[in-house]
C-alpha cells in the first residue's frame, strides 16, 4: 500500500461516520436530485417502520450531521497547515539514517562460550567492539557489524572500516532482560558522551562519540538469543535547519577535484596509521584540498570568516540523509564553536569500490545552520538511540540459531549447560572439567553397568568403555535400561556392544565402546588346552591395556571373584577403582585406595605431580583420609576368593 502524500489524510485514517458522510455526499453529487430524494427517503424510512427503527434512523441522522461538521473542521485544519507550509517552503530539519545491527552467527557462538566458561552468573557490563563501513552497495542499510572478534577490544579492525566501542549487558534470565531500565542505560551512555565532549577527550579520540550498547539474553537450551541495540545520540532541542539540501559530491566537484580529495584523505589516513577516519576537517579551493583532524580545529580554521567544512565517515546510502555518526559530532561542534559559527558545510564521505574501481562521487555535500546549544554546562541534552525491531516498533529482536546448528552440537551444549548451572549456583568449587574429561572403564554391562553409564553421561563424561561376555536375555530389559526386547531376539546381542551402541543413540557426543570378553577369575580353573590358555592370556593382556588406557575403573560384575584380577591390575597401575555390588536387600559402594607414591628423587619431575594427584584424590569435602590409606574389596579376606556360582 502506497503512503498518502504529505498533508493528506487517507480514507483508512478517517473515522467510520466521516466515511459514511463522504459516501452520501458523493452519492448526491453523482445522481443529482434523484439521488438526493433517495437519500431523504432512506433517512426518513421511519414512516413505514417500527418505533425502534425510527430511533435508529434518528441516530444515523445525528451521526451524519456530526460527521459533516468534523469534515468541515478537518478541512480548515488542513488548509491552515498548507498555508503554513507555503509560507516557509525552504526551511527543513536535518534527519539522519539510524544504524541497523548486523551480528555474525559466530558472535553468538563466542557469546555462548564466554557465558559458559567466563561470565557465568556475572551480569556486569563488558566492553566489546564493532565496526561500520562506508562502501556498501546501494540498497543496503547503514550497518553496525559485530563478529566473533567483538570480545577482543584489541583485535584488528577490518581494512577501511571504522571501529565502534560498545558495552555488553548480558542478563541471566529473560525476566531481567525485560525489566532492565532501558531509559537509565541510555541516560548513562549519553552522560558519558556529554562528559567526553565537555572535557575535550572526544576531540582527541572521536571514537568516544560513536558508542553503542547491546542488551542480551542467551537462552542456551533453545539457542534463542534476544537482543536490543542502542546507539546513543544527543539531540538539538530545536533540530538542525538545512540551509542547502544534500547533493551528490559529483555534482559539486569536478573529477580532478574529487581525485585530489581522495588523495588528501588517503594521505591523512596514512599519516595517522589507520585505514579510515571517523571525522576530519576540510578546506578546498579550486584543485587544492587540505585536510586535518578534528582536534586541530583552532589551528586549521584561523580566519573567522572562512568557510567551515567537516567530513565524516558515513555508512549511509541515502542521497537525502546523512548517517547516524554525524549526530554527536555536530553536538560537539556546536558545544565548542557554535557561538561564532553561522553555518557549516558537511561532507558525508562514502568510499565505494565496485569491480576494482574506486568511487566517492556518491558522497553527499550539504550546508546546515548550527547554533550554540542553549544548555547550562552541566545539562546533558536529550538522547535517543534504541533500535526498532523487525516490525518497526520499539522492542527487542530475537535470533533462533537452533535451526542452523548441528543437533549433535546442540545436545552437547545443553548437557554442559545443565552441569555448569549446577556448579555455578551450588558447588562453585567443583572442577567440572576433570569430571567431563575422565575416561571410565565399566567392567560389567548389567543392571549396575547400565545405571552407572547413564549417570556418568548425566555428569558429562564423554569416554565410556564396557566390558562384558554375556548376551542379552529376555529378563534383562525390564531391569537394565539400555536394552530393549528386540535386543533379546536370535539368542541376544552381546551386552557390551549393545550398551555402547545405545549410549551413542541416547547422546551422540559420547565416545562409547564395547568389548565382548571374559575376565579370568580365581576358583574358575582354565582348561589346559592350548586354545583356552591362549585366549585367557589374550583376555588378561587386553584387560591390562584397557585399565592402563582409562582413568577410573568401575567394578560392576555379578560375582565377587570376578572383581579380583581387575582390582589387582588397577592397584599396580595406581588407577582409581570404584566398586559397587548389589544384594537382595543390601548393597556396597566403595572406593579402593591407591599406593602411596615413591618419594621424590633428584631430577624426577613427575613425582611432585603424582604426589599432588594422590593427595587430591584422597581429599574431599566428606573425608579426611588420604587415598593411600584406603583399602580394597579384598583387604579383609583370609582365604582366596572362591567360586560363588556353586552356592547359586
Span 192-206, pLDDT tens digits: 999 999 999 999 999
Better-scored residue on pLDDT, 223 or 374? 223
Mean pLDDT score, 268-297: 93
Mean pLDDT score, 85-105: 76
Spatial separation of the C-alpha atoms in residues 381 and 417, rounded to whole Å: 44
Backbone angles phi, psi at 262, to 5 degrees: -60, -45
Q: Of 301, 329, 307, nearest to 203 (Cα)? A: 329
Domains and CATH numbers, the chain: 11-87 (no CATH), 100-236 (3.40.140.70), 242-380 (3.40.140.100), 409-647 (3.40.50.720)
Spatial separation of the C-alpha atoms in residues 291 and 261, rounded to whole Å: 9
Spatial separation of the C-alpha atoms in residues 505 and 482, rounded to whole Å: 10
Q: What does the H/E/C string look like for 105-142?
A: HHHHHHHHHHHHHHHCCCCCCEEEEEEEECCCCCCCCC
Strand partners, 310: 281, 346
Cα 602 to Cα 105, 352, 481, 606: the distances in Å are 53, 68, 52, 11
Picking from 14-18, 177-181, 548-552, which range would have the lowest pLDDT averaged per residue? 14-18
CB 253 within 8 A of CB 287: no
Mean pLDDT score, 355-363: 91
Spatial separation of the C-alpha atoms in residues 451 and 386, rounded to whole Å: 52
Strand partners, 280: 311
Confidence of residue 522 (pLDDT cuts 50, 70, 90): confident
Backbone angles phi, psi at 447, to 5 degrees: -60, -45
What are the strands, taking DSSP E only, across 488-604? Answer: 511-516, 552-555, 576-582, 587-591
Backbone angles phi, psi at 515, to 5 degrees: -125, 120
pLDDT at 333: 93
Q: Of 478, 479, 450, nearest to 464 (Cα)? A: 450
Helices 51-87, 16-43: axis angle to 10 degrees equals: 140
Element (H, E) at 422: helix 407-425
**Cell numbers at 279, concatenated:** 571525522
CB 474 within 8 A of CB 488: yes
Q: Is the pLDDT of residue 533 over 80?
A: yes
Q: Is the pLDDT of residue 38 over 90?
A: no
Q: Is the pLDDT of residue 153 over 80?
A: yes
Element (H, E) at 60: helix 51-87
pLDDT at 372: 67
CB 326 within 8 A of CB 368: no
CB 459 within 8 A of CB 478: no
pTM for the whole thing?
A: 0.68
Kindly compute the dihedral angle of the four CA atoms of residues 66, 71, 72, 78, in this order, to the nearest 10 degrees. Answer: 150
Pairing of strands 161-171, 212-219: parallel
**Model confidence over 410-426: pLDDT tens digits?**
777 778 777 877 777 77
DSSP string, 287-349: TEEEEE-GGGHHHH--STTSPPEEEEE-----SS--BTTHHHHHHHHHHHHGGG-S-EEEEEE
pLDDT at 599: 61
**Burial class of residue 274 (count of CB atoms within 10 Å of its CB; 0-12, 13-18, 19+):** middle
CB 504 within 8 A of CB 466: no
Contacts of 562 (CB under 8 A, 6+ apart): 443, 519, 521
* Side-chain half-sphere CA neighbours of 501 within 13 A: 10
Q: CA 298, 204, 211: angle at the middle one, nearest 5? A: 125
Element (H, E) at 245: strand 242-248
Spatial separation of the C-alpha atoms in residues 595 and 400, rounded to whole Å: 53
Alpha helical stretches, state H, 102-248: 105-114, 174-179, 182-199, 201-204
pLDDT at 40: 43
**Cell numbers at 208, concatenated:** 568516544
Better-scored residue on pLDDT, 49 or 318? 318
CB 495 within 8 A of CB 471: yes
Contacts of 490 (CB under 8 A, 6+ apart): none
Contacts of 278 (CB under 8 A, 6+ apart): 162, 206, 207, 209, 210, 312, 313, 325, 329
Backbone angles phi, psi at 161, to 5 degrees: -120, 150
Q: How far apart are the first and last CA of the chain?
A: 86
Q: What is the mean pLDDT of the chain?
A: 82
**Model confidence over 598-637: pLDDT tens digits?**
665 555 444 444 444 445 444 444 556 777 778 888 887 7
CB 135 within 8 A of CB 80: no
Better-scored residue on pLDDT, 554 or 72? 554
Kindly compute the dihedral angle of the four CA atoms of residues 176, 179, 181, 185, in this order, to the nearest 10 degrees. Answer: 40
**Cell numbers at 302, concatenated:** 584561523
Q: CA 289, 292, 296: angle at the middle one, nearest 5? A: 140
**Cell numbers at 317, concatenated:** 546510502
Confidence of residue 502 (pLDDT cuts 50, 70, 90): very high
Amino acid at each position: 500500500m502506497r503512503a498518502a502524500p504529505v498533508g493528506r489524510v487517507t480514507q483508512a485514517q478517517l473515522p467510520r461516520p466521516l466515511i459514511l458522510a463522504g459516501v452520501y455526499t458523493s452519492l448526491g453529487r453523482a445522481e443529482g436530485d434523484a439521488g438526493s430524494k433517495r437519500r431523504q427517503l432512506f433517512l426518513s424510512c421511519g414512516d413505514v417502520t417500527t418505533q425502534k427503527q425510527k430511533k435508529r434512523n434518528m441516530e444515523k441522522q445525528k451521526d451524519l450531521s456530526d460527521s459533516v461538521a468534523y469534515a468541515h473542521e478537518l478541512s480548515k485544519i488542513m488548509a491552515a497547515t498548507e498555508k503554513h507550509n507555503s509560507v516557509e517552503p525552504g526551511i527543513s530539519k536535518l534527519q539522519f539514517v539510524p544504524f541497523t545491527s548486523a551480528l555474525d552467527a559466530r558472535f553468538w557462538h563466542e557469546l555462548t562460550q564466554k557465558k559458559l566458561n567466563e561470565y557465568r552468573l556475572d551480569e556486569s557490563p563488558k566492553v566489546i567492539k564493532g565496526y561500520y563501513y562506508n562502501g556498501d552497495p546501494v540498497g543496503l542499510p547503514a550497518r553496525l557489524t559485530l563478529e566473533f572478534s567483538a570480545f577482543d577490544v584489541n583485535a584488528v579492525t577490518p581494512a577501511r572500516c571504522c571501529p565502534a566501542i560498545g558495552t555488553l549487558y548480558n542478563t541471566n534470565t529473560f525476566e531481567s532482560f525485560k525489566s532492565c531500565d532501558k531509559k537509565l542505560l541510555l541516560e548513562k551512555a549519553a552522560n558519558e558522551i556529554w562528559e567526553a565532549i565537555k572535557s575535550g577527550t572526544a576531540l582527541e579520540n572521536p571514537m568516544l562519540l560513536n558508542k553503542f550498547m547491546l542488551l542480551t539474553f542467551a537462552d542456551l537450551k533453545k539457542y534463542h538469543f534476544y537482543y536490543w541495540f542502542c546507539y546513543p545520540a544527543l539531540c538539538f532541542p530545536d533540530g538542525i535547519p538545512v540551509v542547502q539540501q544534500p547533493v551528490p559530491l559529483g555534482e559539486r566537484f569536478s573529477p580532478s577535484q574529487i581525485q585530489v580529495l581522495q588523495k588528501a584523505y588517503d594521505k591523512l589516513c596514512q599519516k595517522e596509521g589507520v585505514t579510515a577516519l571517523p571525522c576530519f576537517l576540510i578546506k578546498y579551493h579550486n584543485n587544492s584540498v587540505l585536510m586535518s583532524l578534528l582536534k586541530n580545529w583552532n589551528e586549521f580554521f584561523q580566519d573567522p570568516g572562512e568557510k567551515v567544512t567537516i567530513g565524516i565517515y558515513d555508512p549511509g546510502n541515502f542521497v537525502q540523509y546523512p548517517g547516524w555518526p554525524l549526530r554527536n559530532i555536530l553536538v560537539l561542534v556546536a558545544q565548542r564553536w557554535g557561538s561564532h559559527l553561522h553555518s557549516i558545510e558537511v561532507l558525508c564521505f562514502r568510499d565505494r569500490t565496485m569491480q576494482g574501481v574506486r568511487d566517492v562521487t556518491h558522497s553527499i555535500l550539504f550546508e546546515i545552520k548550527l547554533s550554540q546549544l542553549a544548555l547550562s554546562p552541566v545539562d546533558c541534552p536529550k538522547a535517543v538511540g534504541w533500535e526498532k525491531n523487525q516490525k518497526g516498533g520499539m522492542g527487542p529482536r530475537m535470533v533462533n540459531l537452533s535451526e542452523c546448528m548441528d543437533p549433535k552440537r546442540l545436545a552437547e551444549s545443553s548437557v554442559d549447560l545443565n552441569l555448569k548451572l549446577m556448579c555455578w549456583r551450588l558447588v562453585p568449587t567443583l572442577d567440572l572439567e576433570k569430571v567431563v574429561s575422565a575416561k571410565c572403564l565399566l567392567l560389567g554391562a548389567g543392571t549396575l553397568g547400565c545405571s552407572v553409564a547413564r549417570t556418568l553421561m548425566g555428569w558429562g563424561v564423554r569416554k565410556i568403555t564396557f566390558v562384558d561376555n554375556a548376551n542379552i536375555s529376555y529378563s534383562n530389559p525390564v531391569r537394565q535400561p539400555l536394552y530393549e526386547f528386540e535386543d533379546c531376539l536370535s539368542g541376544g546381542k552381546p551386552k557390551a556392544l549393545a550398551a555402547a551402541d545405545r549410549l551413542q543413540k541416547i547422546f551422540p557426543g559420547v565416545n562409547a565402546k564395547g568389548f565382548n570378553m571374559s575376565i579370568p577369575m580365581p576358583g574358575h580353573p582354565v582348561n589346559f588346552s592350548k586354545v583356552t590358555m591362549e585366549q585367557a592370556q589374550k583376555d588378561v593382556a587386553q584387560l591390562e591395556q584397557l585399565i592402563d588406557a582409562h582413568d577410573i575403573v568401575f567394578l560392576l560384575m555379578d560375582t565377587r571373584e570376578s572383581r579380583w584380577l581387575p582390582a589387582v591390575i588397577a592397584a599396580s597401575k595406581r588407577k582409581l577403582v570404584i566398586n559397587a555390588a548389589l544384594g537382595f536387600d543390601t548393597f556396597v559402594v566403595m572406593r579402593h585406595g591407591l599406593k602411596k607414591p615413591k618419594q621424590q628423587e633428584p631430577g624426577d619431575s613427575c613425582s611432585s605431580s603424582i604426589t599432588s594427584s594422590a593427595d587430591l584424590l584422597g581429599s574431599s569435602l566428606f573425608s579426611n583420609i588420604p587415598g593411600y590409606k584406603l583399602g580394597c574389596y579384598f583387604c579383609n579376606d583370609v582365604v582366596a576368593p572362591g567360586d560363588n556360582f556353586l552356592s547359586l
